[in-house]
Amino acid sequence: MPVADILFSPIEYLKGVGPQRSEMLQKELGIFTFNDLLNHFPFRHIDRTKVNSISQLNFDTDYFQFAGTIISFKIIGEKKAKRLVAQVKDKTGTLELVWFQGLTWIQKMLQLNENYLVYGKVSFFQSHPQIVHPEIEVLTKELMEGKNFLEPIYPTTEKLKSRALGGRQIGKLTQQLFKLLDEKKIFENIPVSILSDLNLISRYNAFLQIHFPENKVQYEAAVKRLKFEELFLSQLRVQLLKSERHHFSKGVVFAKVGDLFNSFYKNQLPFTLTDAQKRVVKELRLDTATGTQMNRLLQGDVGSGKTIVALLAMLIAADNGYQSCLMAPTEVLAQQHFHNISKLLKGMNVPIAILTGSTKTAARKTIIEELKNRVLNILIGTHAVIEKEVQFAKFGLAIVDEQHKFGVAQRAKLWEKSNPLPHVLVMTATPIPRTLAMTAYGELDYSVIDELPPGRQLITTVHRLETLRPKVMHFLKSEIEKGRQVYIVFPLIEESSKLDYENLMRGFENIKAWFPEPNYWISMVHGQQKPIQKQTNMDRFIKGETQIMVSTTVIEVGVDVPNASVMIIESAEKFGLSQLHQLRGRVGRGSEQSYCILLTGTQISTDAKERMKIMTSTNDGFLIAEKDLEIRGPGDIGGTRQSGILNFKLANIVEDKALLDLAKDFAFKIAENDPELITEENLLLKQFLQKQGKTEWSKIS
């Protein structure tokens, strides 16, 4: 076997594992190879030298290690509460150990009057200390004189514990593994100059010391090194992709800004662009004229006016004889874009069409024909546009609105429609903190509209308990009497959840009782309606024929009705911050003072309270995104969980931001200076990346 490949040996072949345990390790912990075991890190280390006496235990004790003799066993309780309780005694007192699972096996394994080393988390049951499911081992001389004073404790499962693969015992396997490894087998992958600049220990040492450190300092050095490696490799990948695209990916050239753009700008534009909009249009213009393919993320808070920027870009494409496509995540939104853009283009010769799942067969056929014959300039639609039959004669620009609603694969299908690739603009209103955006979408170029059109009023946001519903309804009445429209949004946790729909229907009936026809008219939109129903209801609201829109979160993205001034969010505690912010963005689009009312039950979690507090204290989407990040961690910012881009094993992009910035800088330099990794210093890095395979590379769009 070649030297470096030993890490990819099946775990079964490690001494002490064998077929049965190997199967368990695979199933329970996903450990298939030596390398997986190497990367299964301990969650803490216990100081072997710190064996406490039971009398030292107090209410502040967290994890506790002691040595003692088992003096009794008994099984008590029934069914779920059935448990094995052992009393362990040392010179200073006794402590209870409790097991809820694997009782028979544990009873068989443990011996009365034998000495044990016990470790675990202390909990108090009726102010009585106990350790539930402890790590327990016969106290041998060998055990106490082990070389490493910090003993690793690994994540494990109850099932594995019952097969002698507890949190401690996995360490024995890791020890076994290290007997087979050395500096060559765990070879260095970070260029030496970076290691010395940042004072990082070698890769081999880092792995050794994250498992078996001699002291805390060593452990921390190991963690730092491995965190940096994770961040650096991820940043390097995106930077290399970006540099490859900049250097090699040919794009169509939009050489000029022509009559369509200019006459639209002069005669049709109903307002003055904000400075931020102007800046972004300029960025797009420059980017599409270079001859390399544009791949750009456009971020802008709800209502910041991304649509008009998209339209201007499509006009530049048209000026150069190219077709564009704007893809939106929902039928409602696609229709709305079509409606607005058609209106804006009125009187101009820019043929435009809409294609969605509900487009009739005949119309669809015409559209497909007209795309091929270059009759159509602009196609707007839902994911229906990515179907194979939909082909463009001269595809120049693909725009994806609210990109986080689409999967990576879906998006990619859109731009694979032509060769050379069209320019790509993905737009999102989910504000991602800037640094995070650069990390998650580092291979994309980045534009931001960080300014709202003038004259927008701040939306007044309040948190109200459900018990105050009548007051809220009276307020709604007074707004409607002023000629305004209102949204009432219900949570729909699962698209198919019966309970949620019942809830919605009950809410609808309730609202109808407050707002009876014919004085009031209500639209309702939800995911289980047919597209045509949705559309009709939506249209009536847009035209002002209904004053109230009751809906689920299908209304969340992009819907624009400037006359709507109140957004009521039912069971607001069930929504995350960014979703609440998105919903709130449906109002405050006209010149009238707008309101967002967050209705919740009386008993909500501390987290939910915190969310309500943040929402009522700021309108700033980027600030909210930062808070969201603090509260939830980077888990699912802008749908990144799905792609796993921001989920590192050790590093946390919030806490380790300084390290992330360093990683980014070094990665950037390498991608600039040696994009093919051919210098001597980068050879090992190249080798390592190739080994890791293409699977992870392709995660990023």
Q: What are phi and psi of 129, to 5 degrees?
A: -70, 145
Cα angle value 383/254/311 (rounded, 5°)? 45
Residue 521: CB minimum distance to Mg ion, A: 26
Token pair belonging to 538: 């939506």
The interface partner of residue 589, options being Mg ion, ligand ADP, none and the CB cut-off 5 to 8 Å by kind, is ligand ADP
Nearer to ligand ADP, 306 or 463 (CB): 306
Best CA proximity match to 383, nearest among 407, 361, 351, 350:
407
Binder of residue 403, out of Mg ion, ligand ADP, none (CB less than 5 to 8 A by kind): none
Q: Fill in the per-residue mask, 413 to 442: x = in contact with Mg ion (CB under 5 A), - = not in contact.
A: ------------------------------
| Phi, psi of 445, deg, nearest 5 | -80, 160
Compute φ and ψ for 69, nearest 5 degrees. Answer: -110, 140
CB of 688 to Mg ion, least distance (A): 41
Side chain identity at 496, as an amino acid letter? S
The CB-of-483 to ligand ADP minimum distance in angstroms stands at 18
Q: Which of 273, 313, 444, 597 binds ligand ADP (CB under 6 A)?
A: 273
What is the number of other CB atoms lying within 10 angstroms of the CB of residue 676?
A: 11
CA distances in angstroms from 273 to 126, 304, 400, 449, listed in the order given: 66, 10, 21, 11
Which positions ≥6 away from 303 have C-beta within 8 Å?
452, 453, 456, 585, 588, 589
429 binds ligand ADP (CB under 6 A): yes
Angle between helices 606-617 and 577-584 (to 10 degrees): 30
Closest distance between ligand ADP and the C-beta of residue 132, in Å?
A: 51
Which member of 558, 585, 634, 639 binds Mg ion (CB under 5 A)?
558
Indicate whether 271 belongs to the interface with ligand ADP (CB under 6 A): yes
Partner whose binding site includes residue 271, from ligand ADP, Mg ion, none (CB under 5 to 8 Å by kind) = ligand ADP
CB of 589 to ligand ADP, least distance (A): 5
Pull the structure tokens for residue 424: 């790509």
Q: For ligand ADP, which is the closer residue by CB, 69 or 563?
A: 563
Joined together, the tokens standing for residue 337 give 């874009």
Using CB under 6 A as the binding rule, whether residue 304 contacts ligand ADP is answered as yes
Taking the least distance from each CB to Mg ion, the nearer of 422 and 558 is 558
In angstroms, rounded to a whole number, what is the distance separating the alpha carbons of residues 387 and 513?
44
List binders of ligand ADP among 281-300 (CB under 6 A): 300
Q: Is 329 in the site for Mg ion (CB under 5 A)?
A: no
The answer to whether the peptide bond before residue 420 is cis (omega within 30 degrees of 0) is yes
* Residue 335 contacts ligand ADP per CB under 6 A: no
Residue 412 CB neighbour total at 10 angstroms: 14
Nearer to ligand ADP, 42 or 300 (CB): 300
Closer CB to ligand ADP, 558 or 634, in the complex: 558
Site membership for ligand ADP, residue 425 (CB under 6 A): no
Q: Is 383 in the site for ligand ADP (CB under 6 A)?
A: no
21, 148, 408, 435, 530 from 622: Cα distances, Å: 49, 47, 24, 11, 35
Total residues at interface with Mg ion (CB under 5 A): 1
Which positions lie near Mg ion, rule CB under 5 A?
A: 558
